[in-house]
């Protein structure tokens, strides 16, 4: 198994809560880290909890004890204990796991990089290379879109593709997602957000966050108005860029490498954000 396959194993057991935050279940992480006994893995968890306390972090923010019902046969179930873990909690766990295991060593790198991306300050952001800025902003847009989708559905949106196109049309002078993809000469079904520079991603992140806020603030309850709001927000951001003398989003250069390619490079080279 290569590094990328192992990193994918951590991604495959990742869950996302109602607020767009990533989390992992301890029992699933235990299997991925090749521990066979829950009691032994609990020792690792307890060491990680101690490290969390020593770092002056709130343990309950990172290690949430939960119960889970499991089938034990004969149509009966029983409750077992588990933990809902933040990315930081997973980082502490792999740091306290058996580093002789290849999957643990690679897990340490995986969670170190991902945690670093999440906890980056704006001052630190300015010191990053353009490639690393893109990785950081793309992570933010993924979370933002998850939250926006939930809010849009609650606001009456049934066709999310049409809803997102309304925002793109406002920001990109009438271009839909497909139009943007064609202009960027992307392959079929290749994500346009994965092929944007940091400046273009910031414009879209602002569109996403402000649309969600306005849908909530105005208590939008129908699809037509929600689509109109998304277009309006995108268009206002476009006009602001124009007034400030900035480059229109459609005129910004498309990076040579997609973020999918950059992520593979991260996994292959195991470089950090420092």
pTM, full prediction: 0.59
Q: CA-CA distance, 221 to 227, in Å (whole number)?
A: 11
pLDDT of residue 171: 98
Range name among 33-47, 64-78, 194-208 with the lowest pLDDT average? 64-78
pLDDT of residue 273: 45
Residue 46: band (very low, low, confident or very high) from pLDDT cuts 50, 70, 90: very high
Give pLDDT tens digits for 235-263.
999 999 998 899 999 999 999 999 888 77
3-class SS at 221? coil
The pLDDT of residue 72 is above 80: no
Q: Which residues contact 205 (CB under 8 A, 6 or more apart)?
A: 137, 140, 141, 144
| Strands, sheet with 15-16, edge to edge from the N-terminal-most edge strand | 15-16, 22-25, 76-85, 63-73
**Which string of DSSP letters, residue by residue, matches 25-54?**
EHHHHHHHTT---HHHHHHHHHHHHHHHHH
The pLDDT of residue 4 is above 60: no
CB 230 within 8 A of CB 151: no
Q: Which residues contact 103 (CB under 8 A, 6 or more apart)?
A: 6, 9, 32, 33, 34
Averaged confidence pLDDT in the chain: 87
pLDDT of residue 83: 95
pLDDT of residue 36: 93
Give pLDDT tens digits for 199-232.
999 999 999 989 998 999 899 999 999 999 999 9
The pLDDT of residue 107 is above 60: yes
Residue 73: band (very low, low, confident or very high) from pLDDT cuts 50, 70, 90: low
| pLDDT, mean of residues 57-75 | 80
Residue 269: band (very low, low, confident or very high) from pLDDT cuts 50, 70, 90: low
Query: Strands, E, within the chain: which ranges?
Result: 15-16, 22-25, 63-73, 76-85
The pLDDT of residue 103 is above 70: yes
Q: Which token pair is 134?
A: 């893109």
Give pLDDT tens digits for 135-194.
888 888 988 899 899 999 999 999 999 999 999 999 999 999 999 999 999 988 899 999
Q: Which helix (H) or strand (E) holds 215?
A: helix 198-217
| Dihedral (Cα; 260, 261, 267, 271), 10-degree rounding | -110
Q: CA-CA distance, 41 to 104, in Å (whole number)?
A: 13
| Separation of first and last alpha carbons in the chain | 27
3-class SS at 69? strand
Q: For residue 190, which of 201, 177, 200, 199 has the smallest C-alpha distance?
A: 177
CB 167 within 8 A of CB 180: no
3-class SS at 67? strand
CB 197 within 8 A of CB 134: yes
In this structure, the number of other CB atoms found within 10 A of the CB of residue 182 comes to 12
Q: For residue 213, which of 233, 187, 186, 236 has the smallest C-alpha distance?
A: 233
Q: CA-CA distance, 267 to 3, in Å (whole number)?
A: 7
């Amino acid at each position: 198994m290569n590094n990328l396959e192992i990193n994918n194993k951590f991604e495959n057991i990742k869950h996302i809560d109602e607020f767009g935050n990533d989390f992992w279940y301890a029992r699933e992480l235990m299997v991925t880290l090749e521990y066979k006994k829950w009691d032994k893995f609990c020792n690792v968890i307890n060491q990680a909890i101690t490290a969390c306390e020593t770092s002056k972090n709130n343990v309950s923010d990172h290690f949430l004890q939960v119960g889970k019902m499991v089938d034990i046969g004969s149509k009966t179930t029983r409750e077992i204990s588990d933990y809902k873990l933040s990315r930081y909690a997973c980082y502490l766990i792999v740091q306290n796991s058996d580093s002789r295991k290849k999957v643990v060593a690679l897990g340490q790198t995986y969670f170190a990089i991902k945690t670093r991306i999440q906890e980056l300050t704006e001052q630190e952001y300015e010191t990053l290379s353009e490639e690393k800025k893109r990785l950081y902003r793309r992570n933010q847009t993924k979370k933002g879109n998850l939250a926006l989708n939930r809010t849009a559905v609650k606001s009456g949106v049934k066709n999310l593709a049409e809803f997102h196109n309304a925002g793109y049309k406002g920001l990109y002078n009438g271009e839909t997602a497909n139009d943007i993809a064609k202009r960027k000469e992307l392959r079929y079904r290749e994500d346009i957000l994965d092929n944007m520079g940091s400046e273009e991603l910031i414009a879209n992140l602002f569109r996403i966050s402000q649309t969600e806020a306005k849908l909530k603030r105005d208590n939008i309850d129908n699809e037509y108005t929600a689509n109109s709001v998304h277009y309006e927000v995108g268009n206002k951001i476009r006009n602001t860029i124009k007034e400030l003398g900035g480059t229109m989003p459609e005129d910004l250069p498309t990076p040579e490498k997609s973020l999918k390619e950059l992520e593979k490079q991260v996994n292959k080279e195991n470089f950090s954000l420092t």
